Amino acid sequence: MTEQQIRFDDGAAYETFMGVWSRKVGEVFLDWLNPGKGLRWIDVGCGNGAFTELLVERCAPSHVWGIDPSDAQLSFARERHKAGVAEFVKGDAMALPAADASADAAVMALVIFFVPKPAKGVAEMARVVKPGGSISAYAWDMMGDGFPLHVMHEEVEKLGIASPMPPSPEASSLPALRALWAGAGLVDIATETITVERTFRDFDDLWAISLSGPRLSVVAAGMTADVLETFRTNVKARLTPDAQGRITGSARANAIRGRVLG
CB 247 within 8 A of CB 199: yes
The two beta strands, 129-140 and 247-259, are antiparallel
| DSSP letter for each residue of 228-254 | HHHHHHHHHHH----TTS-EEEEEEEE
- Position 4 scores a pLDDT of 44
- Position 203 scores a pLDDT of 97
CB 42 within 8 A of CB 106: yes
- Position 249 scores a pLDDT of 93
Q: What is the mean pLDDT of each run of 10 residues along the chain (262 residues)?
A: 48 75 94 97 95 95 97 93 94 98 98 97 98 98 90 93 89 98 98 97 95 86 96 97 96 98 88
Whole-number Å distance between alpha carbons of 89 and 73: 11
- Position 12 scores a pLDDT of 66
Query: What single letter denotes the amino acid at residue 120?
Result: K
- Position 2 scores a pLDDT of 36
- Position 10 scores a pLDDT of 56
CB 120 within 8 A of CB 248: no
- Position 1 scores a pLDDT of 33
- Position 11 scores a pLDDT of 56
Q: Note the helical H segments in the chain.
A: 11-14, 20-33, 50-59, 71-80, 118-128, 150-158, 174-183, 203-210, 214-221, 225-238
